Amino acid sequence: MNIAKKVSLITLLSAGLCAPVAADFVGLNIGVTSWAPDIKGTINSTGSSNSTIQLDNDLGYKDTTSTTLNIRFEHPIPLLPNVKYSGSDLNSSSTSTTPLTFDGKSYTGTINSTLDLSHNDIVLYYELLDNWINVDFGLDLKRFDGKVSMRDSTGTTPSNINVDETIPMLYLAARFDLPLTGLYVGANIQQLSVGDNSAEDTTVMIGYESKMGLGLEGGYRTFTLELDDAKNLNTNLEYNGLFVNGYFHF
């Protein structure tokens, strides 16, 4: 986390010295990302009688898989932002036998839980640099449309708490092309803290793009989400893991 914040600050200060520039042509990038993160952290519903639930020890979560569709559109009109869309399926389930209290109900026996943090990102951004060094800066609207649910084998009334939140985040992306090779390294950072709520979504990558526009990149992504009384739900979650992304740029 500290490293990501330092990278964000250094890159932002460097980019701030440059005026926004426009792409010199219309471009479209379409890709699919596969991500395999480990899960850790806690959840609980508001109320003094409810348990603070450890995802690994209490619910049995260890890892999950996620697929993301990415679409990016760039254009040469200086005053209009470029647009990036990402739709992430981040849904996992687990079974455990640890008694717990959630949403004012006590669950025992075999407990089945679902943690769905699927979300859509709409990013509006400007290119600050566009050559062998690329720097983008803008706003990401991260819209969650998921749920946390709990049920058990003893007949306790199931609980379903919707995760229906939109979090505005600062967006910063940097990419450094290695001349004449097609290889590049880069990082994306989305981050915001508002009161007791905070989120951060950081990726670092290395990739290759052919002259035909076919590309493949891989790296490491960290996603954290801390919510305080968001529709009767508190979270302190962290997802970490490797990803691979294949795309076509034309």
pLDDT at 194: 65
What are the chain's domains? 2-249 (2.40.128)
Q: Which two tokens stand for residue 66?
A: 């996620």
In angstroms, the CA 194 to CA 78 distance is 30
pLDDT at 159: 93
pLDDT at 228: 85
98 φ, ψ to 5°? -85, 120
Q: Which two tokens stand for residue 193?
A: 């803290």
Q: Which two tokens stand for residue 9?
A: 């600050």
Return per-residue pLDDT of the chain as tens, 250 residues.
444 444 444 344 444 434 444 445 688 999 999 999 999 999 988 765 778 999 999 999 999 999 999 999 998 888 899 999 999 999 999 999 999 999 889 999 999 999 999 999 999 999 999 888 999 999 999 999 899 999 999 999 999 999 888 889 999 999 999 988 999 999 999 987 666 678 899 999 999 999 999 999 999 999 999 988 777 889 999 999 999 999 999 8
pLDDT at 197: 75
H or E element at residue 219: strand 214-227
For residues 57 and 40, the answer to whether their CB atoms sit within 8 Å is: no
CA distances from 30 to 15, 120, 129, 247 (A): 26, 15, 21, 5
